[in-house]
Structure 1
Amino acid sequence: MNDMPEQVDPQLLDELRDVCVSTLGHLRDHGLALGLQPNRRPIKVVGTAVTVRIPHLDSTAVHLAVDHLRPGDVLVVDQSGDHARSCFGGLVSFSAKARGAAGAVIDGSINDHDETGPYDFPVFSRGYSPLTTRIGGIEGAINVPVTIAGAVVNPGDVVFGDSDGVAFLSPEDVVGLGELLRGKEQAEAPARERILSGGSLAEFSGALAHHPRD
């Protein structure tokens, strides 16, 4: 097992707590984990990525990593393209929450829906499945670069998730980002007032400038 990553400065994480992942999606295409869904809504996850890569069937590394999670960490699991199996069920979810983790992102399925619901532990995944992984001790890696739903994630990256989905950013990319996203979101407030008064959405968005004219 590699060393645990340095945790992201809490003040840096706070920059993202009141802004939306979809606002980031207006500005960039990379770093977004497309196809993952939250296990409940509303949901908000901001924390430090602790990464795991497992070889389809064997989830030994997941269990080892969960035992090392710290408050504010987010477990991020790459299942090597196996989206059908679940490596994250009731006892794993319980253990992650007991360690104080902020959430989990699983590029595969999860299980034990009815048991885990009361835990109120945020998880992004491909959905639910009764087909699970096993403890085999074959291989696996902890705190290495992984790929999650098309996004490259390094240990120590910022995990930024909400009801729309999840994104990954380097800590350096977060500096000033909250202010930028907040500004874009706040700019919509006067537009709503104008639209209620009969104003144009296309004018506000700039779409009107592309409207064919006679």
Structure 2
Amino acid sequence: MFTDNPMPSQIDEKRRRALLGVQTSTLGHLRDHGFVLGLTPNQRPIAFAGTAVTVRLPHLDSTALHVAADKLRPGDVLVVEQSGDSRSCFGGMVAFTSKIRGAEGVVLAGAMNDFDEVLELGLPVFSSGVSARTTRILGVEGSINVPVTVGGAVVAPGDAILADSDGIAVLAEKEIDEVVTTLKRKEEAEPKLKSKIRSGGSLSEWSGAARRFAEGSSVA
């Protein structure tokens, strides 16, 4: 059985670009939830952001992924949940189609193949690894634009995906403006702090670590 839900509304380009101006690790200073874990990028440095278009596959049948690739738009990020074994669902032709349609990047809870070809395309991909064993077009089942679970994070169609060399964060569309404002404020304070440290200032005093350390220290 196949599910083919409508494509989600896209995050507008100004807000998508604003996400590219902040870092996932800065968000990681502030919260633990909403991060995709355990996937590896096909290149570093890497950075992309966009609207999640989701696909759920059984372990062997990638029919729905081929259909979804044709639907991708500029500004989309393809997010794939693949249950089952370690075979690859994402190779050269799916990557080429995704790139031509305008995908900003790809997040796979599964392996990829045609690694060098995908790298040459310049398509950024996070995956669980690389495998010569691949899926098939079997016409058994699959779902497009349903909530999926990838690397421990739930991704709904239309969510914002922010990925860089440190990892992948998933944001609800309504969170974008507040998160960008908060992260920019935090990141813009860093040059001033670096200047203070260069002049002999204390990182541990700025962060509060010195006080916490003193509170927890025992006298020998």
Counting only pairs closer than 5 Å after superposition, residues 20-169 of structure 1 correspond to structure 2 as 20-80=23-83, 82=85, 84-169=86-171
Unpaired runs of 5+ residues, structure 1, are none
What root-mean-square deviation, in Å, do the aligned CA atoms of Structure 1 and Structure 2 show?
Answer: 1.2
Flag the structure with higher helix content: 2
Q: Describe the superposition over 1:98-140 as per-residue Cα deviations: whole angstroms up to 9, x where unpaired.
A: 1111111101111111212210001111121112111111111
What residue is the counterpart of 1:208 in the other structure?
210
Letter of the 1:113 counterpart: F
TM-score by length of 1: 0.95
Q: Describe the superposition over 1:1-34 as per-residue Cα deviations: whole angstroms up to 9, x where unpaired.
A: 1111111122222221111011111111111001
Matched, 1:11 2:8: no
Q: Describe the superposition over 1:160-207 as per-residue Cα deviations: whole angstroms up to 9, x where unpaired.
A: 111111111111011222121011112121221122222222112111
CA distance in 2, matches of 1:27, 1:47: 21
8 A Cα contact 1:15 1:177, kept in partner: no
Unpaired runs of 5+ residues, structure 2, are none
Identical columns (%): 57
CA distance in 1, matches of 2:144, 2:154: 15
After superposing on structure 2, the runs of 4+ consecutive aligned residues of structure 1 that deviate more than 4 Å are none
Deviation at 1:81, TM superposition (A): 5.2
In the alignment of these two chains, the number of paired residues is: 213
Q: Mean alpha-carbon deviation: is it higher for 152-161 or for 110-119?
A: 110-119
* Partner SS state of residue 71, structure 2: coil
CA distance in 1, matches of 2:14, 2:84: 34
